[in-house]
Chain A
Amino acid sequence: MVIFFQNLVNALQWGSFYALIALGYSMVYSILMLFNFAHGDIFMVGAYIGFGVSIGLLALSSSGALAMPNWLILALTILFSMFLTSFVGMIVERVGYRPLRNAPRASAAITGLMIGIILETGNLALLGARRVSFPSLIETTVYNVGGVFVTNKKIMIVLVSLLLTLALHQFVRRTKWGMAMRAMAFDFAVVPLMGVPVNTMIALTFAIGSALAAAAGILFGVAYPVLDPYMGILFGWKAFVAAILGGRGSILGATLAGFLLGFTEIFVAMIFPSTLRDLIAYSIILLILTFRPHGFFGEPYSARLRL
Chain B
Amino acid sequence: MPVKVRTSRNLWASYSRVPLLGWFCGALIAAGLERFVGTPVALAMGLPKIPVLFGLDIMLKKPILVPNAILYVLLVYGLPMGVTTRSSISLANRLATWLFRFPIAITVAVHLALLYATLHLWAGISDYRALVLKLTLIAVMLTLSLNVINGYMGEFSCSHPGFMALGAYCASVFTVGLFVDDRLFGAVFLPPTLGPYLFPIALILGGFLASFGALFVAIPSFRTRGDYLAIISLAFLFIVKSLIENLEFVRGPRGLSGQPDWADLPTVFLWTVLCVWSINNFVRSTIGKALNAVRDNEMAASAMTVDTRRTKIVAFLFAAFWAGVAGGLFAHVLRYVNPSTFGIQNLAEVLAMVYFGGLNSVYGSIVGAVSISLLGEALRPLEIFKWIIIPLLLILVMIFRPTGLVAFKDLDVTSLLRPKQNPGGEV
A residues apposed to B, CB below 8 Å:
29, 35, 95-96, 99-100, 103-104, 106-111, 113-115, 117-118, 120-122, 124-125, 233-234, 237, 240-241, 244-245, 248, 275-279, 282-283, 285-286, 289-290, 293-295, 301, 303, 305, 307
Residue in A118, A245, A303 whose CB lies within 8 Å of B299: A303
Interface residues of B in 149-163 (CB under 8 A from A): 150, 154-156
A-B contact pairs, 21 of them (CB 8 A): A100-B399, A106-B156, A111-B399, A113-B348, A114-B392, A114-B398, A117-B348, A117-B387, A121-B384, A121-B391, A122-B388, A124-B384, A240-B231, A245-B231, A278-B241, A282-B235, A283-B235, A286-B216, A289-B235, A293-B223, A301-B225
B422 is an interface residue with CB less than 8 A from chain A: no
Q: Give Cα distance in the complex from A122 to B387, angstroms.
A: 9
A117: chain B residues within 8 A (beta carbon)? 348, 387, 391
B231: chain A residues within 8 A (beta carbon)? 240-241, 244-245, 285, 289
B297 is an interface residue with CB less than 8 A from chain A: yes
B242 pairs with A114, CB closer than 8 A: no
B227 pairs with A248, CB closer than 8 A: yes
B228 pairs with A113, CB closer than 8 A: no
Q: A103-B398, A286-B232 are contacts. A113–B224 as well, Cβ < 8 Å?
A: no
B223: chain A residues within 8 A (beta carbon)? 290, 293, 301
Q: Give Cα distance in the complex from A279 to B241, angstroms.
A: 8
A282 pairs with B220, CB closer than 8 A: no
A241: chain B residues within 8 A (beta carbon)? 231, 234-235
Q: Give Cα distance in the complex from A140 to B384, angstroms.
A: 38
B388 pairs with A286, CB closer than 8 A: no
B228: chain A residues within 8 A (beta carbon)? 244, 289, 293-295, 301
Measured CB to CB, the closest approach of chain A to B117, in angstroms, equals 36
B403 pairs with A107, CB closer than 8 A: yes
A294: chain B residues within 8 A (beta carbon)? 224, 228
Q: A110-B355, A114-B391, A125-B385 are contacts. A244–B227 as well, Cβ < 8 Å?
A: yes
A277: chain B residues within 8 A (beta carbon)? 242
B394 pairs with A114, CB closer than 8 A: yes
A110: chain B residues within 8 A (beta carbon)? 351-352, 355, 394, 398
Q: Which residue of A lies closest to B220 (CB)?
A: A290
Q: Give Cα distance in the complex from A265 to B402, angstroms.
A: 37
Closest 4 CB pairs of A and B: A103-B402, A114-B391, A293-B224, A279-B242
Q: Give Cα distance in the complex from A293 to B234, angstroms.
A: 14
A233: chain B residues within 8 A (beta carbon)? 344
A100: chain B residues within 8 A (beta carbon)? 398-399, 402
B399 pairs with A303, CB closer than 8 A: no
B124 is an interface residue with CB less than 8 A from chain A: no
A118 pairs with B154, CB closer than 8 A: no
Residue in A114, A115, A283 whose CB lies within 8 Å of B352: A114
B395 pairs with A111, CB closer than 8 A: yes
Bitwise interface map of B from 377 to 419 toward A, beta carbon under 8 Å scored 1, else 0 = 0000000110110011011001100110000000000000000
Measured CB to CB, the closest approach of chain A to B171, in angstroms, equals 22
B239: chain A residues within 8 A (beta carbon)? 278-279, 282-283, 286
Bitwise interface map of B from 238 to 250 toward A, beta carbon under 8 Å scored 1, else 0 = 1101110110000
Measured CB to CB, the closest approach of chain A to B169, in angstroms, equals 15
Q: Give Cα distance in the complex from A167 to B308, angstroms.
A: 45
Interface residues of B in 195-237 (CB under 8 A from A): 216, 220, 223-228, 230-232, 234-236
Q: A113-B351, A286-B216, A294-B224 are contacts. A278–B238 as well, Cβ < 8 Å?
A: yes
Q: Which residue of B lies closest to A248 (CB)?
A: B227
Q: Give Cα distance in the complex from A233 to B343, angstroms.
A: 11
Q: Can you add 7 more A-B contacts, CB < 8 Å, to A244-B230, A307-B156?
A: A118-B387, A234-B344, A241-B234, A241-B235, A279-B243, A301-B223, A307-B226
A305 pairs with B226, CB closer than 8 A: yes
Q: Which residue of A lies closest to B348 (CB)?
A: A113
Q: Give Cα distance in the complex from A234 to B340, angstroms.
A: 13
Q: Which residue of B lies closest to A114 (CB)?
A: B391
Measured CB to CB, the closest approach of chain B to A228, in angstroms, equals 14
B227 pairs with A35, CB closer than 8 A: yes
A125 pairs with B242, CB closer than 8 A: no
B391 pairs with A115, CB closer than 8 A: yes
Q: Give Cα distance in the complex from A253 to B228, angstroms.
A: 15
Q: A111-B395, A113-B351, A293-B228 are contacts. A276–B242 as well, Cβ < 8 Å?
A: yes
Q: Which residue of A lies closest to B300 (CB)?
A: A303
Q: Give Cα distance in the complex from A119 to B224, angstroms.
A: 32
Measured CB to CB, the closest approach of chain B to A11, in angstroms, equals 19
Q: Which residue of B lies closest to A106 (CB)?
A: B156
Measured CB to CB, the closest approach of chain A to B403, in angstroms, equals 6
Q: Give Cα distance in the complex from A111 to B150, angstroms.
A: 16
B220: chain A residues within 8 A (beta carbon)? 286, 289-290, 293
Q: A114-B395, A307-B225 are contacts. A237–B387 as well, Cβ < 8 Å?
A: no
Measured CB to CB, the closest approach of chain A to B377, in angstroms, equals 17
Q: Which residue of B lies closest to A241 (CB)?
A: B231
The residue among B225, B231, B243, B352 with the most chain A CB atoms within 10 A of its own CB is: B231
B216: chain A residues within 8 A (beta carbon)? 286
Q: Give Cα distance in the complex from A278 to B226, angstroms.
A: 23
Measured CB to CB, the closest approach of chain A to B255, in angstroms, equals 15
Q: Give Cα distance in the complex from A117 to B395, angstroms.
A: 11
Measured CB to CB, the closest approach of chain B to A208, in angstroms, equals 21
Q: Give Cα distance in the complex from A286 to B224, angstroms.
A: 13
B234 pairs with A275, CB closer than 8 A: no
Q: Give Cα distance in the complex from A236 to B359, angstroms.
A: 26
Q: Which residue of B lies closest to A117 (CB)?
A: B391
Measured CB to CB, the closest approach of chain A to B87, in angstroms, equals 44
Q: Give Cα distance in the complex from A233 to B403, angstroms.
A: 25
Q: Give Cα distance in the complex from A54 to B300, angstroms.
A: 57
Measured CB to CB, the closest approach of chain A to B195, in angstroms, equals 33
Interface residues of B in 342-393 (CB under 8 A from A): 344, 348, 351-352, 355, 359, 384-385, 387-388, 391-392
